[in-house]
Amino acid sequence: MHPFELRELLQQMLGVLESERRALAGLDIDGIVGCAVRKTVLCDRLEDTTAEAVDAQCRGLLDAARRLNETNRRVRNLIAANVAARLDALTGQPALYRAHRDAARVRRLR
């Protein structure tokens, strides 16, 4: 892949990640799912990229995409934790995976 093509794909990825950020902020499930599909398509197109195609400008775009993706991942995790806490409050029971984690801590302490 030529660096020009790579830059174009990375700019598209940044656009999708920005759209995902807005969809997460608005809790727009259709937007979130659409972004996930578009990210997968772009990742498939980037899969065969060699290191030689990555110039300085591409590295900057890659770094920006990495940071934005990490931010979006953290937002998704916060939303999931909030949902889990609300579900726990409704049922009056802690989530099952937490019980396993607590049991593992007890075993380590022994």
For the chain, how many structural domains are there in total? 1
* Residue type at 63 in one-letter notation: D
DSSP letter string over the chain?
--HHHHHHHHHHHHHHHHHHHHHHHTT-HHHHHHHHHHHHHHHHHHTT--GGG--HHHHHHHHHHHHHHHHHHHHHHHHHHHHHHHHHHHHTS--HHHHHHHHHHHHHH-
Q: Which tokens go with 20?
A: 């995902």
What's the pLDDT score for residue 9? 95
Residues spanned by the domain of 88: 3-109
Asked if residue 105 has pLDDT above 80, the reply is no
Q: Taking the model in full, what pTM does it have?
A: 0.76
pLDDT at position 92 is: 83
Q: What is the pLDDT of residue 42?
A: 97
